[in-house]
Amino acid sequence: MRYLKFGTSLTRRCQEQRRFLDLGSRSRFHSGIFPSGTKAFINGAWVESHSGASFAVTNPATGATLASVPNCDVKDAEAAVVSARKAFQTWGFDTTAKERAALLQKWFNILMKRQDELAEILTAEQGKPLAEAKGEIAYGAGFFDWFAGEARRTYGQIVPAPVANRQHFHYREPSGVVAMITPWNFPTAMITRKTGAALAAGCTVVVKPAEDTPLSALALASTAKEAGIPDGVFNVVTAARQNTAAVGKLWCESPDVDVISFTGSTAVGKILLHQSADRVKRVCLELGGNAPLIVFPSADLDKAVAGTMASKFRGSGQTCVCVNRIFVHSSVYDAYLDKLKSAIVKDLKVGDGSQAGVTQGPLINELAVKKVSGLVEDARKKGAKVIVGGAKHSAGPSFYEPTLLADIKPQMDIANTEIFGPVAAVVKFDSEEQVIKLANNTRMGLAGYFFSQDVAQIFRVARRLEVGMVGVNEGVMSSAEAAFGGVKESGLGREGASQGMDEFTEWKYVCLGGL
């Protein structure tokens, strides 16, 4: 079996037509990132699953096998929790905020130093273009930089007591062991956004990355060790789909896991919330979205189109905050469609994400293509007009054409389903009241976007949209400094910003009497 070699420059790798290495029956990347091969990371050691089982990681663009990783089960997941619980006694109470901040800052510096190599791994297993992968590494590393500062800004309170001989103190303490289950669409950043806050607070971490993209998580483990993160503080348990549900259930029900933090589908989030209920443990959920984007008559159409392109087509439309429903006022509908069509045709190039100039990589697998194809076909049958695209792409079975659909109606499946693909579905509206009702007509409430130059309207609509985050005249708004999260069935809690620390700390009240 042959395996991709990482660590060379993109140009040279393309010129040499993807040099491969024969590494025998057990894969090992020829990279300093994986000195011991692609194994699970528990208590500071690289380990196989206790059963010896493994599963293959493939490149969605080519179908090539990249590596095999341990298929861990509940026994391995429990070992990771034991390791994290033991490490918490020291990390949570015997280290200072300043010491934790210094290690997070060192980890940030290592990620940025190894940005190119980490991005190549990310592109190979996830498929997104290399430029986007580099952006994700920088974005993800930024959470370590941010939370290194927040570690030293986690303040308590001194509260005036109601009697003269007492003093009341409020302390913030680390919650304990945090179990994280993370998605494939941002395989680095969704781990760092959670881990940065958790480690800054003094918590320890066990991570179960998505089956499709475990290599980026293992690369983070390698850089954690390089940064000097103590053994047991950061653990990665890789598992295939058949073991994932059992691992998640174990962590939800374990008395030694204090917090569950999950990014993924609403359906799975509800299962984890239910499984955690008997332990009454904190559950942080960042779930599905059905984001509206509204173009009002006063909008700068060029900015609106640029914002649509950025929000809709990055990651080939596979992000939870991608615009899903585009509402355009009837007075600018035709002009907007013409501009968006031109931008799609001119600016988007489909192909293997490792190739120069590619802006649209594959979807994560063929099942994703099947879902998108079904949504487009349903819309077409019910009267939608295909302006651009509308079919599978010739680049391979995991590719779909960037698509623009007009005349979308409420009864179409695509108007009520998170697309998670490169399809822009456009709806015409006539009034602000009408479009607010349409935009809020969903149980999802993660992100929303609108374009307007009317100041009064900006404040009015921003408040009336039932979402956790609003982009006004912006198509991309996430950053380490901003609180990320949704309302309704799009999640619980916030990640990033100072609020991100709240998910991993507990308030303790101490009453000092007899003064």
Q: Say how many C-beta atoms besides its own lie within 10 A of residue 60's C-beta.
A: 27
Which residue, among 227, 139, 193, 467, has the nearest Cα to 325 in the 3D structure?
467
DSSP string, 23-68: -TTS---SSTT-TT-S-EEETTEEE--TT--EEEEE-TTT--EEEE
DSSP string, 2-34: EEE--SS-HHHHHHTT--EEE-TTS---SSTT-
> Residue 108 has which token pair?
């940030």
> DSSP H helical segments within 202-332, as ranges?
214-227, 241-253, 266-276, 301-313
* SS3 labels along 394-459: CCCCCCECCEEEECCCCCCHHHCCCCCCCEEEEEEECCHHHHHHHHCCCCCCCEEEEECCCHHHHH
Which residue in the list 150, 286, 418, 503 is annotated as catalytic? 286
Q: Do residues 350 and 395 lie in contact, with contact meaning Cβ atoms separated by under 8 Å? A: yes
CA dist 26 to 33, 109, 240, 336, 383, Å? 16, 31, 17, 53, 52
> Residue 67 has which token pair?
């590596």
Q: Cα 220 from chain centroid?
A: 15
Active site includes 132? no
Which residue, among 140, 151, 107, 90, has the nearest Cα to 504 in the 3D structure?
151
Catalytic annotation, residues: 286
